[in-house]
């Protein structure tokens, strides 16, 4: 799994490195040839300066290339570690859902029974469930393809029929006993 940003930068650096190497080799060959032909000292010094610039460019680009390759490998390793962690988390969530399935089914049935006792309409039941999931009135309106005003009105109807003051009381109504320690829950069920 290679990041295209690192890959394209690496390709660019390899290309620039190739240009500097080619220039360095050509400058070296030219200096050797000029020395054999007896050129002036100024010409050799100029070409030696070009060669020195090429060597400096080679060193700088090679260093940057090594850093880029290291960063690319580190990013790939981090991505693989995250993918592994995601896989473990996904497996853990699936295991939890499987273990809690019967409990969740029972909770869903209990919530639905309470909605029936409150005599909520199908639309109000849907709004109440979305409120319990933590959606805002705007999100509920979008999910149900209604206006935000309609979502608010249906939420108020739920609170009125349930004789609750608002969203927090609705959540607390269903979650209060779930938050008790296991020993306290057992005692409240017996008493």
* Interval 128-181: pLDDT, tens: 999 999 999 999 999 999 999 999 999 999 999 999 999 999 999 988 766 656
Which residue would you say has higher pLDDT here, 66 or 138?
Answer: 138
Six token digits for residue 100: 């809690």
User: Could you read off the pLDDT of 8-57 as tens digits, one per residue?
Assistant: 887 888 888 888 888 888 888 888 888 888 888 888 888 888 888 888 88
Q: Where are the domains of the chain?
A: 1-99, 118-191
Structure confidence at residue 99 as a pLDDT band (50, 70, 90): confident
Amino acid 5: pLDDT: 65
Q: Of all residues in the chain, what percent are helix, strand and coil, respectively (each to 5)?
A: 85, 0, 15
Look up the pTM and report it: 0.47
Closest CA to 6 of 69, 66, 64: 69
Domain 118-191 belongs to what architecture? Orthogonal Bundle (1.10)
SS (H, E, C) 82-118: HHHHHHHHHHHHHHHHHHHHHHHHHHHHHHHHHHHHC
């Amino acid at each position: 799994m290679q990041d295209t940003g690192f890959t394209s930068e690496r390709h660019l650096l390899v290309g620039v490195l190739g240009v500097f190497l080619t220039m360095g080799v050509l400058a070296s060959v030219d200096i050797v040839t000029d020395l054999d032909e007896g050129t002036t000292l100024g010409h050799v010094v100029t070409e030696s300066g070009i060669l020195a610039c090429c060597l400096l460019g080679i060193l700088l680009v090679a260093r940057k290339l090594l850093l880029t390759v290291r960063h690319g490998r580190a990013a790939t390793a981090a991505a693989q570690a995250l993918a592994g962690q995601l896989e473990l988390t996904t497996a853990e969530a699936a295991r939890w859902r499987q273990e809690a399935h019967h409990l969740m089914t029972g909770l869903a049935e209990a919530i639905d029974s309470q909605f029936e006792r409150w005599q909520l309409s199908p639309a109000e039941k849907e709004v109440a469930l979305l409120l319990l999931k933590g959606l805002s009135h705007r999100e509920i309106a979008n999910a149900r393809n209604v206006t935000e005003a309609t979502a608010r009105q249906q939420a108020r109807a739920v609170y009125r029929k349930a004789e609750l003051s608002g969203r927090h009381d609705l959540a607390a109504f269903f979650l209060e006993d779930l938050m008790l320690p296991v020993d306290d829950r057992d005692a409240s069920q017996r008493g």
